[in-house]
Structure 1
Amino acid sequence: MNNAATPGPLLAARDLVKAHGRTPALRGASLDLRAGEILAVTGASGSGKSTLLHCMAGIVRPDRGSVTYGGQRLDRLPEKRLSELRRTDFGVVFQFGQLIPELTALDNVALPLLLAGTPRSRARERAGEWLERFGARGQEELRPGEMSGGQAQRTALARALVTGPKVVFADEPTGALDSLAGEQVMTALAHTARESGTAVLLITHDARTAAYADREASLHDGTVVTEDTVLEVTP
Structure 2
Amino acid sequence: MNSPLLAGRGVVRSYGATPALRGVSLDIAEGEIVAVTGPSGCGKSTLLHCLAGILRPDAGEIHYRDQRIDLLSESARAVLRRTELGVLFQFGQLVPELTAAENAALPLLLAGTGRRAARTAALTWLDRLGVADQADTVPGEMSGGQQQRCALARAMITEPRVLFADEPTGALDSLTGEQVLNQMVRVAREQRTSVVLVTHDPRVAGYADREIMLRDGEIDPAGLGPVVARTARS
> Counterparts of 1:142-221 in structure 2 under 5 Å?
142-221=137-216
In structure 2, list runs of 5 or more residues that go unmatched. Answer: none
Please say if residues 213 and 224 of structure 2, whose CA atoms lie closer than 8 Å, have aligned partners that are also in contact.
no
Counterpart position of 1:135: 130
- Structure 2 residue 79 is the aligned partner of structure 1 residue 81: no
What is the CA–CA distance in structure 1 between the aligned matches of 2:200 and 2:43, rounded to whole Å? Answer: 12
1:150 corresponds to which letter in structure 2?
A: G
Q: Provide TM-score, normalisation by structure 1.
A: 0.96
Aligned-pair CA distance for 1:80: 2.2
What is the CA–CA distance in structure 1 between the aligned matches of 2:138 and 2:225, rounded to whole Å? Answer: 40
Where 2:41 maps in the other structure, the secondary structure is coil
What is the CA–CA distance in structure 2 between the aligned matches of 1:46 and 1:120, rounded to whole Å? Answer: 41
Where 2:220 maps in the other structure, the secondary structure is strand
What is the CA–CA distance in structure 1 between the aligned matches of 2:227 and 2:118, rounded to whole Å? Answer: 37
Where 2:3 maps in the other structure, the secondary structure is coil
Counterpart position of 1:229: 225
Please say if residues 33 and 196 of structure 2, whose CA atoms lie closer than 8 Å, have aligned partners that are also in contact.
yes
What is the CA–CA distance in structure 2 between the aligned matches of 1:159 and 1:8, rounded to whole Å? Answer: 28
Alignment equivalent of 2:111, drawn from 105, 116, 119? 116
1:158 corresponds to which letter in structure 2?
A: A
Compared CA separation, residues 44 and 228, structure 1 to 2 (3 A): closer
Runs of 4 or more off by more than 3 Å in structure 1?
A: none
2:97 corresponds to which letter in structure 1?
A: E
Partner deviation per Cα, 1:23-44 (whole Å, 9 max, x = no partner): 1100111111111011000000
Partner deviation per Cα, 1:168-208 (whole Å, 9 max, x = no partner): 00000000000001000000000000011000000001111
Partner deviation per Cα, 1:61-96 (whole Å, 9 max, x = no partner): 111111011121111111222111011100001100
Q: What is the count of residue pairs matched by the alignment?
A: 230
